[in-house]
Amino acid sequence: MPDVPNPGVETLNGADQLAVCFARQTVDGNPWIDHRWALVGLAFGEVPQPDGPDQVVVSGLKLELHGDEAEGYHMNTCADEPSLFFMLRPANEDQPDGPPTVAAVSANFYEAARWMDAGESVERLPLPEGWCEIIAAFARAHWREPEKKRGKRYAATGDHRDRPGH
């Protein structure tokens, strides 16, 4: 097998210093809530300041790529709109109307689906420019064909008619 470059998270400029912006949006016609927090922006490197009192920036997030999740990265990069996925949890008890907390970040399509299957709230934002190609190269470099499972083997001799289910 030829040498394949092994790009990693260090080549995703700013992947270790992500920040997301939440905007408070008014909800009309709902008797239980008067607003919701929407994920509206992504930044990396320097943390931007909120544009007003109805915006909050959450920083200190990090994207990590794992070689054993190459198939999920490949599925994401082949999608119509490759995305970063964010697992969100409700606001802290001391600030119940505040923005949600970001529990995890992933570029893995399957991991985001597992989060949703577990009942977590998942939001997505488009991948930053240039990241799709790097993540696709990472997936190709770490891709392994699934191991073929051996079929069930039966005894070569013997009468199977006297056993129930055969």
- Which pLDDT score, from 0 to 100, does residue 15 have? 84
- Which pLDDT score, from 0 to 100, does residue 3 have? 43
Residue 6: strand, helix, or coil: coil
DSSP string, 91-156: PPTTSTTSPPEEEEEE--HHHHHHHHHTT-EEEEEEPPTTHHHHHHHHHHHH--PPPPPPPP---S
Average pLDDT per consecutive 10 residues, the chain (166 residues; last block may be shorter): 47 83 90 88 84 87 91 95 94 79 94 96 93 93 80 61 60
In angstroms, the Cα distances linking 74 to 1, 66, 122, 148, 151 are: 20, 12, 19, 21, 29
- Which pLDDT score, from 0 to 100, does residue 153 have? 65
- Which pLDDT score, from 0 to 100, does residue 87 have? 96
- Which pLDDT score, from 0 to 100, does residue 84 have? 95
Edge-to-edge strands, sheet with 35-44? 35-44, 18-26, 55-61
